[in-house]
């Protein structure tokens, strides 16, 4: 796992959705109910940008057709049979970091 700093996120307790590019991936970092989450930024249903969505009851809601995805796991709601990638998030010395699995992480976990 390689950890990438995400500059410019102020942890004020206010909810936010911020799109960032990390290691070539589009990711949304989400602050919701005093917790941080990181998910892939593209909706798997029809490719909408999830950064334009909103959070409700522990899920992000896609702005296009209202599909919803669990903030923690990325799993789609029942009946959707889809998911968005989810990434670990940590705060280190006040700065937000997102963890991305490397090629070798994947090879060694087999």
By CB under 6 A, is residue 97 in contact with ligand FES?
Answer: no
Under rule CB under 6 A, how many of the chain's residues touch ligand FES? Answer: 9
> Using the rule CB under 6 A, which residue among 17, 29, 36, 43 binds ligand FES?
43
CA atoms within 13 A on the CB side of 89: 24
- Nearest partner of 61 among 69, 49, 13, 19, judged by Cα: 69
Looking at the Cβ atoms of 4 and 64, the one nearer to ligand FES is 64
* Helix or strand holding residue 106 (H, E): helix 103-108
How far is it, in rounded angstroms, from Cα 10 to Cα 95? Answer: 8
Cβ proximity to ligand FES: between 6 and 75 the closer is 75
Reported as type and span, the H/E element at residue 43 is: none
Query: Could you say which of 45, 52, 75, 77 contacts ligand FES (CB under 6 A)?
Result: 45
In the bound state with ligand FES, the residue whose beta carbon lies nearer, of 82 and 101, is 82
Q: Identify which of 78, 31, 96 has the alpha carbon closest to the alpha carbon of residue 67.
A: 78
Residues 53-92 binding ligand FES (CB under 6 A) are: 62, 64-65, 67
Binding site for ligand FES (CB under 6 A): 43, 45-48, 62, 64-65, 67
């Amino acid at each position: 796992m390689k950890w990438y700093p995400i500059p410019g996120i102020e942890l004020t307790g206010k909810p936010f959705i911020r799109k960032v590019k990390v290691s070539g991936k589009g990711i949304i970092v989400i602050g919701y109910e005093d917790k941080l989450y990181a998910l892939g930024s593209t909706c798997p249903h029809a490719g909408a940008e999830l950064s334009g969505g909103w959070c409700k009851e522990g899920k992000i809601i896609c702005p296009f057709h209202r599909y919803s995805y669990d903030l923690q796991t990325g799993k789609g709601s029942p009946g959707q049979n889809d998911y968005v990638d989810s990434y670990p998030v940590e705060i280190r010395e006040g700065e937000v970091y997102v963890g991305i699995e490397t090629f070798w992480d994947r090879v060694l976990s087999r």
